[in-house]
């Protein structure tokens, strides 16, 4: 089976103005910047894109902009996150994305309340039966009910429209299981910290990377080198740089640290859903200064 996705996909932030409205011009220019830096595609409206803050009309408009932007780039694909609190909303988002030409949908489990594995199976099958695009399960246990490896395998094996998984848990157990069982599934790493080991073990078809939104140069090089020779010294150096960057991101809520670096690169002003506490203002200044000192090792010229 040919994987639905392959390579480095940037999980794109959703740039907003101070009043909370989406800045469409910045979003479009950001997509073009990422294309120029060699990404293979985009993931829109995932955790990095703060899907819980995106309204349905905003989602529809984001889909239109992405579709327009990639018209002249036939090799670029995009997938759309359809996170919601229930199946009806996820289905509506999924069909909007399908009409816009999304290659596939990222389906996180319904958020806020904890659910059982039986619940998430019912949810996933209901959505899969009602949308017009292939689905990648989106395991996001930091924010939604987790998908157990056995649950993911069952859904992918037995549900026609569920073709793989983006696993953002940081664990490789599900990708290893799909590989060892010979399941013809698209296996995507969704946690930047887990990518290097996945490449070493050859258990991934690609990465959807939040870091790639702000540092596409680092992530595209790391992925390509890891596919060629994950034991090379040059690959190890790139992995060390990524680990260093992730350590700086970790004190911030997802995806605030990426916004700070995007602003430092003049991609978009860093805006937040509420005013920053004084401690965060200090952290932001420190992170910006750190980035200025480490640009070269992060592959930023």
In the set 9, 111, 121, 166, the catalytic residue is: 166
Residue among 276, 207, 289, 209 nearest 248 (CA): 289
* 111 among known catalytic residues: no
Q: Which residues pair with 43 in a beta bridge?
A: 11, 79
Cβ–Cβ < 8 Å for 114, 103:
no
Q: Spell out the residues 6+ positions from residue 49 whose beta carbon is closer than 8 angstroms to its own.
A: 11, 12, 13, 14, 43, 81, 255
C-alpha 11/C-alpha 16 separation (Å) is 16
Q: What is the 3-state secondary structure (H, E, C) of 11-76?
A: ECCCCECCCCCECHHHHHHHHHHHHHCCCCEEEECCCCCCHHHCCHHHHHHHHHHHHHHCCCCCCC
Q: Spell out the residues 6+ positions from residue 157 whose beta carbon is closer than 8 angstroms to its own.
A: 183
With 0-12 / 13-18 / 19 or more C-beta atoms within 10 angstroms meaning exposed / middle / buried, residue 43 is buried
For 195, the 3-state DSSP assignment is helix
Q: Which residues are catalytic?
A: 138, 166
């Amino acid at each position: 089976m040919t994987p639905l996705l392959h390579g480095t996909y940037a999980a794109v932030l959703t740039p907003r103005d101070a009043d909370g409205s989406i800045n469409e011009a910045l979003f479009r220019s950001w997509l073009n910047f990422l294309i120029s830096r060699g990404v293979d595609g985009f993931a829109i409206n995932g955790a990095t894109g703060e899907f819980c803050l995106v309204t349905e009309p905003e989602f529809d408009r984001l889909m239109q902009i992405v579709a327009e932007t990639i018209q002249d780039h036939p090799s670029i694909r995009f997938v759309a996150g359809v996170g919601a609190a229930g199946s009806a909303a996820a289905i509506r988002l999924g069909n909007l994305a399908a009409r816009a030409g999304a290659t596939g949908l990222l389906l996180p489990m319904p958020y806020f309340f904890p659910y059982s594995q039986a619940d998430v199976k019912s949810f996933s099958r209901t959505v899969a039966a009602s949308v017009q695009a292939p689905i990648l399960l989106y395991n996001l246990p930091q924010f939604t009910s987790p998908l157990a490896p056995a649950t993911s395998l069952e859904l992918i094996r037995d549900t026609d429209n569920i073709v793989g998984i983006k696993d953002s848990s940081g664990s490789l157990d599900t990708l290893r299981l799909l590989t060892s069982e010979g399941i013809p599934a698209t296996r995507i790493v969704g946690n930047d910290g887990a990518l290097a080991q996945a490449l070493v073990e050859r258990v991934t078809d690609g990465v959807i990377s939040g870091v790639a939104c702000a540092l596409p140069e680092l992530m595209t090089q790391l992925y390509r080198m890891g596919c060629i020779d994950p034991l090379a010294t040059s690959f190890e150096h790139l992995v060390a740089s990524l680990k260093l960057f992730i350590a700086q991101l970790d004190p911030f809520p997802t995806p605030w640290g990426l916004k700070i670096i995007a602003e430092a690169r003049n991609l978009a002003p860093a805006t937040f859903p509420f005013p920053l506490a004084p401690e965060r203002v200090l952290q932001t200044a420190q992170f910006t200064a750190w980035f200025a000192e480490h640009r070269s090792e992060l592959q930023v010229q």
